[in-house]
Structure 1
């Protein structure tokens, strides 16, 4: 943020998203902007929001995967631990700092959604729900990436683990969920496959966002399951991350030995 790269990246991203939005609107109304087509405008809103979700989902690990492991490789982790900040505060600061630019990218594109309102494709409540869900997804992926960065010894491993997590969230869960539902259609006797497929899809941020826009069929509160699952997962991993930064915090527990200070580096 102290260089020219941040405003250049934000401006380029905003211009590209604006160009895509105008292009989709123009194509859907065939150049007749006086013709109101809410159904087609709703498709534009869905495509733009899903595309933005894909972008921020795969960009977040690039900012967060090396936050702690990079400190360790640069030999600055021990110095960081001598500050008055606790391990929890260090991890929270890394999560917020690594997701700040991506959150800003989401915020600057919010006015583009107002173009969809002109054609009746969405309501403000729906756009705000999608906007809030995107911000939570950024924080959740940043928290998981920072946790992997703390647990792994090298940035290469933390990057692999972070992108593996994102791949499961976006690709594996979608393929597995729709695969189970397809198998349930071929074998109606196995009714539990439908429920399993629905449960797996509720872990996919793209599917949950489409559900918020009523583009897919599912339960009304699918986003609750998504938030609870990834919040608990991030909390568990970050708890181990706190122990990784300061092993003696668990020295009071029986059977847990104090680790050597070389683990800091």
Structure 2
């Protein structure tokens, strides 16, 4: 995939626009202001009174805020990747290249994720403040950053697949943000609802088990688990990765068919389908 010409083209187009440096500078300035505000509020200007526990709170709030921001920014960069090509009448030209449908999808996913990954990289110096005051161990920071990178790629992949399945950017954007809304809001509401039922009903043991399972699909909950801010199975991230990877695999078939029906030649009823959706 490194030699994917689509990936090189997308990198050049996205990084040479005026939007890229503006987004990076604006995001870094906002996160820096938030970090120093939290540090000042925790110590009230008394740096000699700063405690590691307070630094840990800053790290927790900063990481959750960053996860929420990148989760809702990713569809904005990825949801119109394929549908935008269709609307600009350039998809047919792209399909005449030797790049396979899978190569096209992977190139779009990586190029859509690049700017978001760069946003995480530029905020790494802010996390060094946590080490300065002893609020977290390196393993926690590495685990949080790695999980954020994985979540960006997963959301970008789902958004690109929706962009290939839907015929218009409007629909793909709605579907992508609906997916993020499910990941952040629906799983959190249902999970905490089941947890509330389990705590107030001794016969509803199954509700507690399902509450943990549903919450493990929430990226903010996994962040809290990795930072040991909540009591849960430290391996909940495995269920998160398996579930959303399975979602990507389920959407991959329809996405490839939308791009090139001949790729599924072993399904005769799909091959005979009309190919009017190339454009």
Match of 2:51 in 1: 37
Match of 2:6 in 1: none
- Whether 1:188 and 2:202 are equivalent positions in the alignment is yes
Match of 1:228 in 2: 242
Counterparts in 2 of 1:36-75, with a 5 A limit? 36-75=50-89
Does structure 2 retain, via aligned residues, the 8 Å contact 1:145–1:158? yes
- Whether 1:163 and 2:143 are equivalent positions in the alignment is no
Q: TM-score, normalised by structure 2?
A: 0.92
Matched residue SS, 1:149:
helix
Distance in 2 separating the partners of 1:151 and 1:55: 25
Distance in 1 separating the partners of 2:24 and 2:164: 29
Does structure 2 retain, via aligned residues, the 8 Å contact 1:91–1:146? yes
Distance in 1 separating the partners of 2:268 and 2:66: 48
More deviation, 29-38/218-227: 29-38
Question: Among 138, 143, 166, which residue is 2:152 paired with?
Answer: 138
Distance in 2 separating the partners of 1:6 and 1:263: 31
More deviation, 218-227/3-12: 3-12
The runs of 4+ residues in structure 1 deviating greater than 4 Å are: none
Distance in 2 separating the partners of 1:4 and 1:156: 24
Q: 1:120: how far off?
A: 1.2
Match of 1:176 in 2: 190
Match of 1:260 in 2: 274
More deviation, 138-147/185-194: 185-194
Does structure 1 retain, via aligned residues, the 8 Å contact 2:167–2:277? no
Distance in 2 separating the partners of 1:204 and 1:88: 28
Q: TM-score, normalised by structure 1?
A: 0.97
Does structure 2 retain, via aligned residues, the 8 Å contact 1:36–1:120? no
Match of 2:7 in 1: none
Distance in 1 separating the partners of 2:129 and 2:186: 33
Matched residue SS, 1:238:
helix
Q: 5+ residue gaps in structure 2? A: 1-14
Distance in 1 separating the partners of 2:57 and 2:70: 20
Match of 1:9 in 2: 23
Q: 1:37: how far off?
A: 0.6
Match of 2:98 in 1: 84
Deviations 1:168-196 (CA, angstroms, capped at 9, x unpaired):
00000000000001011121101000000
How many residue pairs end up in the alignment?
A: 265
Distance in 1 separating the partners of 2:157 and 2:87: 20
Q: 1:5: how far off?
A: 2.4
Match of 2:123 in 1: 109
Distance in 2 separating the partners of 1:56 and 1:131: 12
More deviation, 24-33/204-213: 24-33
Does structure 1 retain, via aligned residues, the 8 Å contact 2:82–2:164? yes
Match of 2:167 in 1: 153
